[in-house]
Structure formats: C-alpha cells, structure tokens
Amino acid sequence: MTPALDFAFEIRAHLAPALHVGHGDGETLEFTPITGGTVTGPRLTGTVLPGGGDWSSTRGAVCQLDARYLLRAEDGAVIDIVNRGYYRLGPDCPEQHEDDGLRVSEVGVYYRTAPVFRTDAPAHRWLAETVFVGLARPEDEERTVAIRMYALR
C-alpha cells in the first residue's frame, strides 16, 4: 500500500525579528520568537500561543529548523508541538504545489517539516498518535509562516 497524506489543518505562526545567537564552524545560529497565530482546518482549530520559537542553524545553503511552541485548541486544550525540518533553495527542489487552489510551496524552495505533538486531552490524543508532514511557506508581508499539516495514512 502506498502511503497517502490527508490535510488536517494549517498553522499560521506570527514571528518577531530573528535574534542572532552565534557563529560556529561555517554555521550561523538564530532564534526567531513566535508571537502568536492561528490554527484552522477540518481536524483542528485554535490559536498559536506566544512564547515559543524556532532555532535555525544555517550551514551553507541549508537551514535546519527546530521549533517548539504551544497551540490552544478551540476547546481550551493545550498542545505542545516540536516541529523540525529543512529550508533550502535550489533547482532540484520540488515543483510548486497547490492544494485546493492554495499555493503551499514554491518552485525552487524546499521547506518541509516533521511535527510531533503532545497532549493529554482526550479529544486531541490523535495528534500524539499520528505521523505528520508539514509543507511550509513564508508570508513575509505579515512576518508569518504558514504550515499545512498533513496526516500520514
């Protein structure tokens, strides 16, 4: 059986300006605070709570992402998310992808994540028991990143 992905929800995280942390051997480390946002979709609705952030480590043309933040579901449940992934540019990157007419990635940009969720809320336990893939895109005019979350079937 070939794996399939089902759209679950989209996270739109609002970002503060990145903070330079340091340089390593050919590497730059930055922290980008997450100031809030929204969660909308057929499987989850809520908000992104302020206070989390993304530690990004750039080495050459590849940026490794390691974000941690909290979501509050519409019913009040708090959900922890650790979202790791990669951002890179290049001619070998996937073609532009659309989902129901919405652009979820761009030509020449690889921006993918592998989120893991934790919660003890019974209504949202499925998040902690499902493998997800995130297709991300920046929306610079709003200092926002949008991540379409797909559940692996």
Residue pLDDT, tens place only, 19-43:
999 988 889 999 999 999 999 999 9
pLDDT tops 60 at residue 97: no
pLDDT tops 90 at residue 66: yes
Residue 129 sits in a domain whose CATH number is: 2.40.160.20
Number of domain units in the chain: 1
Worst-scoring range by mean pLDDT, 47-61, 67-81, 94-108, 127-141? Answer: 94-108
Structural domain boundaries, residue 78: 5-152
Looking at residue 26, its pLDDT comes to 85
pTM: 0.89
Task: Tell me the residue type at 33.
Answer: P
- Could you tell me where the beta strands, DSSP code E, fall in the chain? 5-15, 19-24, 27-40, 46-48, 53-59, 62-73, 78-89, 97-99, 102-105, 109-118, 132-139, 144-152
pLDDT tops 60 at residue 64: yes
